[in-house]
């Protein structure tokens, strides 16, 4: 299986709120016209990462969150079933990953994200800072603990280690949890080339 390098610092793949395409515009940096159908298709995959800062009590899931640069973002789910599992599971401090997010102007004048399908949303029960740290560490070629050249790696997420001692110690200390929450998610994300769009991917 090919594991692609996925750079979480690349703002084209992980844009902040201001960089997202607007849902009423044809943004040529994110979309291109399909030659046969004339329908707009993404040029590449992208994912909007936010940390939930406030749960808005309402009939459907609604949140305030902060993006990767700390900007506050309003997020509202407008899904047919009102996404009860999201409402149940999402806590303040969780990270939400929204594939192909676009900014939207709501009727009341708010600008935010209107989620129409929770298939493209993944909840990670950890902070955004942790997700960014682990995401960055995953593309490093040196040991996650001591920065020496790596000779070993985690079977679940391919995190690199210099030797089994570092790996075993780190598993007990922190990696067991970060691997289960973030590592596995990233391994799935790294199974495809984010620069090549063939079809919409769920996170």
Can you give the binding site for Zn ion, defined by CB under 5 A? 143, 145-146, 148, 154, 156-157, 159, 162, 166, 179, 183
Least Å distance, CB 96 to Zn ion, is 22
- Of 62 and 138, nearer to Zn ion (C-beta) is 138
Least separation in angstroms between residue 137's CB and Zn ion is 10
CA atoms within 13 A on the CB side of 7: 5
- Measured CA to CA in angstroms, residue 178 lies from 50, 67, 129 at distances of 17, 20, 12
Asked whether the beta carbons of 75 and 58 are under 8 A apart, the reply is: no
Q: Whose Cβ is closer to Zn ion: residue 54's or residue 165's?
A: 165
CB of 131 to Zn ion, least distance (A): 14
Shortest distance, position 4 Cβ to Zn ion, whole Å: 17
Q: How far apart, in Å, are the Cα atoms of 90 and each of 15, 173, 179, 191?
A: 22, 26, 20, 26
Nearer to Zn ion, 20 or 179 (CB): 179
Whichever of 61 and 183 has its CB closer to Zn ion, that residue is 183
95 burial (CB, 10 Å; 0-12 / 13-18 / 19+) is: buried
Count of positions (residues) in the chain: 203
Nearest distance from residue 191's CB to Zn ion, in Å? Answer: 15
53 vs 156 by CB, closer to Zn ion = 156
């Amino acid at each position: 299986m090919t594991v692609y390098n996925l750079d979480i610092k690349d703002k084209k793949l992980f844009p902040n709120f201001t960089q997202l395409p607007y849902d009423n515009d044809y943004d040529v940096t994110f979309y291109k016209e399909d030659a046969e159908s004339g329908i707009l298709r993404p040029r590449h995959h992208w994912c909007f990462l936010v940390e939930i800062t406030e749960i808005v009590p309402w009939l459907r899931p609604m949140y305030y969150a902060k993006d990767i640069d700390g900007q506050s973002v309003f997020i509202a789910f407008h899904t047919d079933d009102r996404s009860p599992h999201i409402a149940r599971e999402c806590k303040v401090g969780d990270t939400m990953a929204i594939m192909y997010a676009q900014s939207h102007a709501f009727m009341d004048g708010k600008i935010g994200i209107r989620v129409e399908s929770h298939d493209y949303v993944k909840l990670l029960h950890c902070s955004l800072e942790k997700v960014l740290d682990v995401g960055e560490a995953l593309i490093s070629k040196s040991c996650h603990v001591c920065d020496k050249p790596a000779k070993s790696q985690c079977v679940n997420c391919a995190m690199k280690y210099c030797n089994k001692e570092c790996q075993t110690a780190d598993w007990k200390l922190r990696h067991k949890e970060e691997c289960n929450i973030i590592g596995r998610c990233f391994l799935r994300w790294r199974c495809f080339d984010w620069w090549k769009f063939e079809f919409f991917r769920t996170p």
